[in-house]
């Protein structure tokens, strides 16, 4: 006899998209002013969210390790890791 394996992370991931019908259909203003901000390390960038996402520093470390083999002239490690971090569940 076997049991069905249910991946809880996959189930939660699916739910992230199922509530889109409840989102208001309105245009949002474009993000402005970011061009004037200085570029900081990914560790510095996550500092403001640490009280809400306590394991953010660990996730930054993991994202940077995943991106360590990328070519620096194409995208910086922090740039690549920020995309990886954004897409991590």
Q: How many CA atoms lie within 13 A of 72 on its CB side?
A: 1
10 inside domain: no
Task: Please indicate, yes or no, if residue 79 is contained in any of the structural domains.
Answer: yes
33 vs 6, residue with greater confidence? 33
| Own/partner pairs, 41-47, CB within 8 angstroms, 24+ separation | 41/78, 42/78, 42/81, 42/82, 42/85, 45/82, 46/85
Tell me whether residue 44 is in a domain.
yes
Confidence of residue 62 (pLDDT cuts 50, 70, 90): very high
Number of domains in the chain: 1
The per-residue pLDDT for 61 is: 95
Within-domain flag for 88: yes
Whether 22 is in a domain gets the answer no
Residue 27, pLDDT above cutoff 60: yes
Average pLDDT over the chain, rounded to an integer? 81
Query: Does residue 4 surpass a pLDDT of 80?
Result: no
| Residue percentage of the chain with pLDDT more than 90 | 44
Task: Write out the residue range of the structural domain in which residue 63 sits.
Answer: 38-89
- Decide if 3 is inside a domain: no
Asked whether residue 67 is assigned to any structural domain, the reply reads yes
Residue 24, in any domain of the structure:
no
């Amino acid at each position: 006899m076997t049991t069905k394996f249910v991946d809880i992370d996959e189930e939660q991931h699916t739910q992230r998209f199922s509530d889109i019908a409840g989102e208001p259909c309105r245009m949002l203003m474009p993000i402005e002013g970011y061009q004037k901000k200085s570029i900081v390390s990914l560790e510095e960038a996550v500092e403001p969210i640490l009280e809400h996402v306590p394991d953010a520093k660990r996730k930054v470390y993991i994202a940077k390790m995943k991106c360590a083999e990328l070519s620096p002239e194409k995208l910086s490690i922090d740039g690549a890791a920020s995309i990886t971090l954004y897409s991590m569940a």
